[in-house]
Amino acid sequence: MSGDDVVVRQTLVKCLIYIVSISFAVFLIKRYAKSMRQRFAAWMLNRCIGFVNKRVHKEKIRLFSSIENDRRIQILEIGAGGGANFEFYPGRSEVTCLEPNPHCKSYLEENAPADIQIKTVIQGFAENMTQLGLQDNSFDVVVCTLVLCSVKDVDRVLFEVKRVLKPGGKFYFMEHIIDDNRLVKSIQKILNPLWRRMVDGCQLIRDTPVYIQNAGFDEVKMTKFKFPYLLWPFFVKKFCFGTATKF
Ligand SMILES: C[S@@+](CC[C@H](N)C(=O)[O-])C[C@H]1O[C@@H](n2cnc3c(N)ncnc32)[C@H](O)[C@@H]1O
């Protein structure tokens, strides 16, 4: 074999090694990227609970204080994250958590106060509550905070919320929403495509109050407020919280 042949052969072997290594790296990234992203999101949500709850403590107390506490209340929390709302639930509540991110389960179990019972953590999307086996008229309360901004089909989620609520049951919500100010709204519209990609489908321009008003609940009570923290991005400051009752 001539010297040239040896050089060609070595170059070919090197190329082959590069191609196999790069393909393997791409395979690993594709295989594990989703899981790593979800793991990070669950960790981040858990880390943020204290910060957010401190800022909206007054609003959450006002919101959740109307949950009856004279009996064992059946609560369904959709998009439960790390369990940011558990501390506001009455003692003896029995909580079913629905959460698509499987890495949230351990945080939900860890963060549950001793006096409430986590009945089950269901992995899935709120749009699919029928397929997930959640029965009609089975919950006293459905809770959803900072979730409707990122669900794929708000109307479907609200339909499912109404379906699983018992007659007289209440939907408790707190969401960030499209701003009333025209300039901020325009900025939200410009930023929305990028924000949506970066923040797990979260929409800056969702008019959640209108969706809730039009969802066919018998009574809707809603308050709008600004997230009370100076350094919070101005284009995510408008919030609403309230209840919607199914009679
Ligand atoms: C911003 S976090 C809020 C978590 C928690 N509710 C809180 O207030 O801290 C949004 C959560 O909604 C979940 N989520 C996103 N789309 C959902 C859907 N279609 N159905 C149910 N949960 C969803 C995400 O996995 C995430 O845990």
Q: What is the CATH number of domain 52-245?
A: 3.40.50.150
In 3D space, the residue among 74, 84, 211, 193 whose CA is nearest the CA of residue 138 turns out to be 74
124 lines ligand 1 (CB under 6 A): no
Domain range list for the chain = 52-245
Residue 238: CB partners within 8 Å, gap ≥ 6?
176, 177, 178, 179, 180, 184, 224, 226, 227
Residue 123 in this model has a pLDDT that exceeds 90: yes
Q: φ, ψ for residue 176 (rounded to 5)? A: -90, 145
Residue 31 in this model has a pLDDT that exceeds 80: no
Question: What pLDDT score was predicted for residue 30?
Answer: 76
In 3D space, the residue among 218, 201, 72, 71 whose CA is nearest the CA of residue 146 turns out to be 201
Atom of ligand 1 nearest to the CA of 127: 19
Question: Element (H or E) spanning 177, and its range?
Answer: none
Hey, which of 150, 173, 177, 199 would you mutate to test ligand 1's pocket, going by the most ligand atoms within 8 Å of its Cβ? 150
Question: What pLDDT score was predicted for residue 4?
Answer: 80
Mean per-residue pLDDT, 76-98 = 98
Contact yes or no for 98/80 (Cβ under 8 A): yes
Cα–ligand 1 centroid distance for 167 (angstroms): 25
Hey, which of 43, 147, 152 would you mutate to test ligand 1's pocket, going by the most ligand atoms within 8 Å of its Cβ? 147
- pTM of the predicted model as reported, rounded to 2 decimal places: 0.90
Q: What is the DSSP letter of 204?
A: S
pLDDT in tens, 219-244: 999 999 999 999 999 999 999 999 99
In 3D space, the residue among 238, 239, 236, 235 whose CA is nearest the CA of residue 187 turns out to be 235
3-class DSSP state of 96 = strand
The pLDDT > 70 percentage for the chain reads: 100
Cα gap 34→69, rounded to integer Å: 40
Question: What pLDDT score was predicted for residue 19?
Answer: 85
Residue 70 in this model has a pLDDT that exceeds 90: no
Cα–ligand 1 centroid distance for 246 (angstroms): 23
